[in-house]
Amino acid sequence: MRLAVCTMFLGLSLVSPSAAATFDCNKASTFVEKAICSDSRLTSMDDQLGRLYKDALAASTDSAALKAEQRAWLSSRDQCKDSDCVIKAYEHRISTLSAMLSPAKSGDFTGTYKMEDKGAAGLVLVQQTANGRIKFYLNATYRLNVGEVSGEVPLNGNAASYADKENDCGLSFKFAPGRLILAQDGVCGMGLNVTASGTYKRVSAAPPKFDD
């Protein structure tokens, strides 16, 4: 479905359906589009999601990935055959985007982060501790080559740094809502062409299990 953002916004408590959705209701043709335009609750949810998506794009460190997620969600939403299904789809997507935009709070960095980029992949486990530190384990791969680093370092706001001169390894962690930006300096004892550098998406906020 081609989205056509409305060009007219009215600061009134009551607005016409054609001016309320993230697409032109006058051109609504599918069941889902018509449901959104005819149901005030869905119209409001569509408005809310449109604003959240715009803000998430502006804050994202990987807009291409976010756009792909949004397209996948739209495709899934458009499979709905009744209004309850559409409402649940919007509730889930609004919750997801809201979580991405939530300010980072103490303990929010704990979780599992993953990255995939042109043959390279990475996994980072992070456990934020009560004494202002993070325990981490990372596994990076490039084709058949691998590399691993683990440690525990102080957390300074939303950033942390790891250094191991013996193994020529420096790692810089920068956390953002739902994301981890990791920069590697040195070889870190990793295989050929393997690097942990990249932008990782948090796929789980559950405390990870470390192999001690």
pLDDT in tens, 51-76: 989 888 887 767 888 899 999 999 99
Supply the pLDDT for residue 14. 34
Residue 5 banded pLDDT, cuts 50, 70, 90: very low
In whole angstroms, what separates CA 198 from the centre of its chain?
14
pLDDT in tens, 129-188: 888 899 999 999 998 899 999 999 999 988 999 999 999 999 999 998 788 999 999 999
- φ/ψ of residue 122, rounded to 5: -150, 150
Supply the pLDDT for residue 212. 65
> Could you give the residue ranges of the DSSP H alpha helices within 63-208?
63-77, 83-101
Domain ranges of the chain: 17-101, 111-204
pTM: 0.55
Supply the pLDDT for residue 157. 86
24: helix, coil or strand? Answer: coil
